[in-house]
Amino acid sequence: MTSALDLNLLAPAHQTVRRPLHTETTASQALYLPIAPPTLGTRGAVIGRELYSGKAFIYCPFSTFGDGLPGGNVIVMGDTGRGKSSLTKTYTARQIRLGRQVVVLDTKEQKEREEGEWAALGRSLTGKAPVKFTPGGGRDASCINPMDPAIAGKRQIELVRTIVELGLGKPLDEFAGSALRLAIRRARLRSAETGRTPVLADVAAALRDPEETDAAAKRRSLDELLNDGLEVSYVLDRLCGSGDDSTGDLTGMLDGPTSIGVDLDADMIVFDLTKVPSGGVAMTILVAVISVFLEEVWLQPVCECGTGPGEHERTTVDARSGAWELGANPVTGCRRYTQRKRIMVCEEAWHVLGTPQLAALLERFLKFARGLGLSCVFIVHHLSDVDDSPETQAALKMADTVVIYSMKKAEAEDTVARLGLPSWTVEHIMRLRRGIALWKVGEVIYPAVQHLLTEAEQHLCFSSGAMTDLTSSSPELE
Ligand SMILES: Nc1ncnc2c1ncn2[C@@H]1O[C@H](COP(=O)(O)OP(=O)(O)OP(=O)(O)O)[C@@H](O)[C@H]1O
Ligand SMILES: [Mg+2]
């Protein structure tokens, strides 16, 4: 046995170095309980349990909103196969049971099933197939028209400009921007004369064939106006194809009238983008168009009883100021207008967050959407996947809930630094097991939330088919 004298207890190291405290799991749980953050209430979707405190973990951005949570947007991140999609799938399915509507931008194909990861869940909840986009079009393929009259005039001009800028890879100058605005108006007028819905090809045609009156209004000659818009018309041709050329990046997806047979009242709408090349310009443009289309068409105010605000009685709450609120709808028996809440899920969201133009579009979308009860869930691998542009950083700041699954050291360090988390979380994040994540809700950290899958949900979340042997085909927690 080592003698106490041999240890030289008076050596400086022994005076200053504190021996590590050894605790068992049960002991640390007992210690943690009194300092554990409060639960997020009992209303919302059950996620699972907070491992250190043992408390049930229930999350709902709509119930917690305002109570320490300034906004409803969520970022889920972590290495591949850790459980990001599984969490989001069961969370949204559980939210649907609370009356929410969900839209998903599904970008990941399950090769063995030849469909997107979310198709099975969407079908099991609504009985409907996903809205599928396929380059070149084809049977069952959907098309959204950026020139659809359902999109309000000003939004449409911004949208077509974003499409052109994404195709061009740089912002338009003032002259080209002005020529594009004029061409969009001209395309609308010309197609109205023939009783058609305008499409992007009509804008390209109007750019190549400007009108004298438009040029005169801008103090340009006809040739100058033609020159201003010629490059833009080439970009639109390249994206949509022209004449017999059907090789455009957006052909069959954005170049014709809107054809999506989508039921906007469905509990879950899945946009299947799995056939669109990942990371390409078509994906980015499609996401931009879908988000604007959703804003204009899907995201309209509607009460949980299914009727619009106009169908509810106005109840005066303060006679002096005349303040009023939306009250009952005698037809449906609804007692008070309650905005139906929506959730939009964006898988592989670096397409969105990593593109400054899209991030800027999204930032505005999010600000606007908050007033209409929308919560967006973005799934990314790491924050280093998304770029550092001010637009992206602004969009990132709009996520008030961050869910972090296990990451490797470099990514964990980067994430902790970017989000301003305490330094102990780096090692903690690296050690998280599959299905367990650190949650930051507003400013409160829940270090280890285990997401629990019910038996009925397991097959809808199983994404490891390609890596699983016949003998071990049942999805289990590691
Ligand atoms: N909480 C959990 N309990 C049990 N199994 C889980 C849990 N979370 C995930 N799994 C299983 O782990 C596998 C991977 O999960 P998932 O597809 O959600 O990972 P991911 O993080 O989205 O991966 P990727 O980044 O590749 O998309 C799935 O087969 C799923 O069934
Ligand atoms: Mg996934």
217 and 294 part of one domain = no
Domain membership of residue 135 (yes or no) is yes
Q: Give the pLDDT confidence of 426-439 residue by residue, as tens digits.
A: 999 999 999 999 99
81 C-alpha to ligand 1 centroid (Å) = 5
Location of structure tokens 């972090």 = 404
Tell me the pLDDT band of 477, cut-offs 50, 70 and 90: very low
112 and 165 part of one domain = no
Residue with the bigger pLDDT between 8 and 457: it is: 457
- Residues β-bridged to residue 141: 132
429 and 398 part of one domain = yes
Residue with the bigger pLDDT between 253 and 464: it is: 253
Predicted TM-score (pTM) of this structure: 0.81
204 and 231 part of one domain = yes
Average pLDDT (188-206) is 94
- Residues 350 and 387: their CA atoms lie apart, in Å, by 9
pLDDT the model gives residue 478: 45
| Residue among 278, 434, 451, 458 to mutate when testing ligand 1 (max atoms within 8 A of CB) | 434
- Residues 352 and 279: their CA atoms lie apart, in Å, by 10
295 and 391 part of one domain = yes
Structural domain containing residue 421: 52-142+268-307+330-463
Domain membership of residue 260 (yes or no) is no
- Residues 257 and 137: their CA atoms lie apart, in Å, by 12
pLDDT the model gives residue 473: 47
- The answer, yes or no, to whether residue 453 has pLDDT greater than 70, is yes
- The answer, yes or no, to whether residue 69 has pLDDT greater than 70, is no
Domain membership of residue 370 (yes or no) is yes
Which range is least confidently modeled, 29-38, 321-330, 335-344, 427-436? 29-38
* Ligand 1 pocket residue status of 462, Cβ below 6 Å: yes
* Ligand 1 pocket residue status of 461, Cβ below 6 Å: yes
- The answer, yes or no, to whether residue 53 has pLDDT greater than 90, is no
277 and 335 part of one domain = yes
- Residues 149 and 156: their CA atoms lie apart, in Å, by 9
| Residue 372 near residue 345 (C-beta atoms within 8 A) | no
Q: 133, 145, 135, 77: which is closest to 432 by C-alpha?
A: 77
- Residues 310 and 81: their CA atoms lie apart, in Å, by 46
| Residue 179 near residue 225 (C-beta atoms within 8 A) | yes
463 C-alpha to ligand 2 centroid (Å) = 8
pLDDT the model gives residue 460: 78
Average pLDDT (303-332) is 88
Domain membership of residue 206 (yes or no) is yes
64 C-alpha to ligand 1 centroid (Å) = 26
Average pLDDT (406-420) is 92
| Residue 437 near residue 415 (C-beta atoms within 8 A) | no
- The answer, yes or no, to whether residue 50 has pLDDT greater than 70, is yes
pLDDT the model gives residue 475: 47
335 and 407 part of one domain = yes
| Residue 235 near residue 167 (C-beta atoms within 8 A) | yes
377 C-alpha to ligand 2 centroid (Å) = 13
| Residue of minimum CA distance from atom 7 in ligand 1 | 435
Q: Count Cβ atoms below 10 Å from residue 384 Cβ, excluding itself.
A: 15
Q: Show the CA angle centred on residue 290, arms to residues 288 and 294, nearest 5°.
A: 120
Domain membership of residue 316 (yes or no) is no
Number of Cα atoms under 13 Å in the Cβ half of residue 38: 7
272 C-alpha to ligand 2 centroid (Å) = 14
Q: 342, 344, 338, 343: which is closest to 326 by C-alpha?
A: 338
* Ligand 1 pocket residue status of 375, Cβ below 6 Å: no
CATH of the domain at 103: 3.40.50.300
224 and 283 part of one domain = no
436 and 299 part of one domain = yes
215 and 278 part of one domain = no
Report the domain count for the chain.
2
* The dihedral formed by the CA atoms of 139, 143, 148 and 150, expressed in degrees to the nearest 10: 90
Radius of gyration of the chain (CA): 27
Which range is least confidently modeled, 84-88, 126-130, 292-296, 470-474? 470-474
Average pLDDT (256-267) is 80
Average pLDDT (471-475) is 49
Q: 4, 293, 16, 25: which is closest to 144 by C-alpha?
A: 293
| Closest atom, ligand 1, to C-alpha of 88 | 18
| Residue of minimum CA distance from atom 4 in ligand 1 | 477
Domain membership of residue 111 (yes or no) is yes
| Closest atom, ligand 1, to C-alpha of 461 | 31
* Ligand 1 pocket residue status of 309, Cβ below 6 Å: no
- Residues 45 and 42: their CA atoms lie apart, in Å, by 9
- The answer, yes or no, to whether residue 241 has pLDDT greater than 50, is yes
pLDDT the model gives residue 202: 94
110 C-alpha to ligand 1 centroid (Å) = 13
87 and 180 part of one domain = no
The token duo for 203 is 């804008």
| Residue 295 near residue 154 (C-beta atoms within 8 A) | no
- The answer, yes or no, to whether residue 388 has pLDDT greater than 80, is no
- The answer, yes or no, to whether residue 471 has pLDDT greater than 70, is no
Q: What percent of the chain has pLDDT over 90?
A: 37
209 and 64 part of one domain = no
3-state secondary structure of 272: strand
Residue with the bigger pLDDT between 5 and 428: it is: 428
- The answer, yes or no, to whether residue 302 has pLDDT greater than 50, is yes
* Ligand 1 pocket residue status of 80, Cβ below 6 Å: yes
Domain membership of residue 245 (yes or no) is no
Greatest alpha-carbon pair distance for the chain in Å reads 102
| Closest atom, ligand 1, to C-alpha of 117 | 17
Q: Give the pLDDT confidence of 130-187 residue by residue, as tens digits.
A: 988 988 887 778 888 999 888 888 889 988 998 999 899 889 999 999 999 999 999 9
Residue with the bigger pLDDT between 12 and 306: it is: 306
* Ligand 1 pocket residue status of 382, Cβ below 6 Å: no
Domain membership of residue 112 (yes or no) is yes
